[in-house]
C-alpha cells in the first residue's frame, strides 16, 4: 500500500480512510491507493497549487497544534522535498503526524475522470497548515490544549493528458481516527 513512516511517527499515506471537516459536520470520503510521493534532491519546496480561501473547522475534536507543527517540521526537513501525483477521484490523506492529518480531494466529485492526475507539493501543504494555525488555531475544550481544524478550496496542477491546467480541490486539516491526544 502507499504508506511509509519515518522514525518520528510521521506517516505519508494513501491508504488511510479519512474525512475532511466541514463547517457543520465532517464529511466522509473513501481513499484509494494512487498517491505516489516523489522524492527529489532539490532544496526548494514544491508548490503546485494556487492560494484560496480557508474556513475554520475548529472544535474540541480538532488536531493538536503541536502535532501539526511537528508535521510542518517533518515536511520541511526530515522527509525532504516531494510532490504528490494523485488520481483525483477520491479523497487522499497525504501526510500526518499523530493527531494531525492533511487530506485533499478533487471537486466536484461528479466531474472527476480516472485519468485526471493532480499534483500537490510539500510547500503547498506546509503553507496551508501554517496559515491554518495562524488564522484558526485556538484553545477549545476541557483539556485547554491548542487545536486547529480547517478546510479550504484551491486549484492544483493537472498533469493528466486532458482538461484544464488547474482543477479545483478541497483540502482539510483534521484529527486522525484512533489517536488519543
DSSP per-residue codes, 17-29: -EEEE-SSSEEEE
In this predicted structure, what is the pLDDT of residue 178?
64
Comparison of pLDDT for 71 and 157, the residue scoring more: 71
- Over residues 15-59, the pLDDT tens digits come to 233 334 332 222 323 333 344 444 343 456 788 899 889 999 999
In this predicted structure, what is the pLDDT of residue 107?
85
Examine the pLDDT at 111 and tell me if it is beyond 90: no
Q: Is 7 exposed, middle or buried (0-12, 13-18, 19+ CB in 10 A)?
A: exposed
- Extended strands (E) in the chain: 3-5, 10-13, 18-21, 26-29, 36-40, 54-56, 81-87, 92-97, 100-106, 117-121, 138-139, 146-147, 150-158, 166-175
Examine the pLDDT at 135 and tell me if it is beyond 70: yes
Calpha distance 141→144 (Å, rounded): 6
Examine the pLDDT at 134 and tell me if it is beyond 80: yes
Calpha distance 127→68 (Å, rounded): 12
- What's the whole-number mean pLDDT along residues 86-111? 83
Max avg pLDDT among 9-13, 43-47, 68-72: 68-72
Examine the pLDDT at 7 and tell me if it is beyond 80: no
pTM for this prediction: 0.73
Confidence of residue 11 (pLDDT cuts 50, 70, 90): very low
Contact 71, 122 (CB under 8 A): no
In this predicted structure, what is the pLDDT of residue 136?
96
Calpha distance 138→161 (Å, rounded): 43
Calpha distance 176→163 (Å, rounded): 33
Amino acid at each position: 500500500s502507499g504508506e511509509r513512516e519515518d522514525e518520528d511517527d510521521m506517516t505519508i499515506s494513501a491508504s488511510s480512510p479519512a474525512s475532511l471537516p466541514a463547517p457543520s459536520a465532517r464529511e466522509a470520503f473513501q481513499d484509494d491507493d494512487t498517491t505516489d510521493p516523489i522524492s527529489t534532491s532539490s532544496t526548494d519546496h514544491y508548490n503546485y497549487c494556487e492560494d484560496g480561501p480557508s474556513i475554520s473547522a475548529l472544535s474540541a475534536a480538532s488536531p493538536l497544534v503541536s502535532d501539526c507543527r511537528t508535521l510542518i517540521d517533518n515536511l520541511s526537513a526530515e522527509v525532504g522535498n516531494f510532490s504528490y501525483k494523485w488520481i483525483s477521484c477520491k479523497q487522499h490523506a497525504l501526510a500526518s503526524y499523530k493527531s494531525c492529518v492533511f487530506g485533499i480531494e478533487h471537486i466536484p466529485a461528479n466531474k472527476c475522470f480516472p485519468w485526471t492526475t493532480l499534483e500537490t507539493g510539500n510547500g503547498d501543504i506546509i503553507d496551508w497548515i501554517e496559515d491554518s494555525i495562524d488564522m484558526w488555531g485556538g484553545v477549545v475544550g476541557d483539556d485547554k490544549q491548542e487545536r486547529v481544524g480547517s478546510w479550504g478550496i484551491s486549484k492544483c496542477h493537472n498533469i493528466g493528458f486532458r482538461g484544464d491546467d488547474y482543477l479545483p480541490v478541497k483540502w482539510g486539516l483534521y484529527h486522525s481516527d484512533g489517536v488519543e491526544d
